Amino acid sequence: GQNIDQPTEMTATEGAIVQINCTYQTSGFNGLFWYQQHAGEAPTFLSYNVLDGLEEKGRFSSFLSRSKGYSYLLLKELQMKDSASYLCAVSDSNYQLIWGAGTKLIIKP
Amino acid sequence: GAVVSQHPSRVICKSGTSVKIECRSLDFQATTMFWYRQFPKQSLMLMATSNEGSKATYEQGVEKDKFLINHASLTLSTLTVTSAHPEDSSFYICSARDHGTGGDNEQFFGPGTRLTVL
């Protein structure tokens, strides 16, 4: 079956760095997405990886290892507004998104 | 980036009535649109994939006669919840894929519709 695993909840301190991991097993692979979702709102796109390596975009970076079925989202210089759920999603062989359950990130002052 | 709108953003209805939710791609043509449902503190659950001009493909366990999907044009898909019941109360989110860009297959999300059935 298809499976996406990510931690349920993480806590970090304002100004610090946090890494959210995601492992996946899917039928086919056409890229991995990270989305941010604030409570009561729809997800917003953060990053897309289809090749191995690190993609950096401002304070956020995303890494992918296809051979290991592994990705992480790295958030630097954490701000209180970064408190949200972070969803990992893999595009499978049919280009459908398989979603992880999301990681709730709590930022403390 | 591409913009997807949903209407209404919030709706409260009585049990037994039907509710229509619209999803529009505002600045691109969306051959494929997706309808998701999300329960509190849970991830998105794909309900159906909607292709312009053809019947929607429903995920296992989703009643197609209850959740009617119409993708009449390249910029509009509608989801109608028929004979709504309190257990249908949820956050419904649509997304659209911009096939015109080629390259990656990013889905652009609408802002969601909060449905409450009394």
Q: What is the DSSP string of B37-102?
A: EE-TTS--EEEEEEETTSPPEEPTT--TTTEEEEEEETTEEEEEE-S--GGG-EEEEEEEE-GGG-
Tell me, rounded to whole angstroms, the distance of Cα A64 from its chain centroid: 10
Q: Is the pLDDT of residue B75 over 70?
A: yes
Minimum-distance CB partner of B43 among A30, A40, A87: A87
Tell me if B105 and A91 make a contact (CB, 8 A cut-off).
yes
Planar angle of CA B17, B19, B24, nearest 5 degrees: 170
Residue holding tokens 């028929």?
A: B82
- pLDDT for B107 equals 79
Tell me if B111 and A41 make a contact (CB, 8 A cut-off).
yes
Tell me if B105 and A30 make a contact (CB, 8 A cut-off).
yes
Interface test with B, best of A30, A93, A99, A105 (most B CBs within 10 A): A99
Render pLDDT for B80-107 as a digit per residue (tens, 0 to 9): 999 999 999 999 999 998 765 544 567 7
> Comparing B19-28, B60-69, B96-105, which segment has the lowest mean pLDDT?
B96-105
- Residues in chain B with CB shorter than 8 Å from the CB of A35 are 109
Work out the pLDDT band at B115, boundaries 50, 70, 90.
very high
Tell me if A97 and B93 make a contact (CB, 8 A cut-off).
no
Tell me if B109 and A100 make a contact (CB, 8 A cut-off).
no
- Is the CB of residue B60 less than 8 Å away from at least one CB of chain A? no
**What is the dihedral sign for C-alpha A22, B4, B57, B81?**
positive
> Cα(B14)–Cα(A86) distance, rounded to whole angstroms?
34
10-residue mean pLDDT profile of chain A (109 residues): values are 91 97 93 91 90 94 97 98 95 84 95
Better-predicted residue by pLDDT, B72 or B75: B75
Question: Are β-strands A103-108 and B45-51 bridged in parallel, bridged antiparallel, or unpaired?
Answer: unpaired
Largest CA distance in chain A: 43
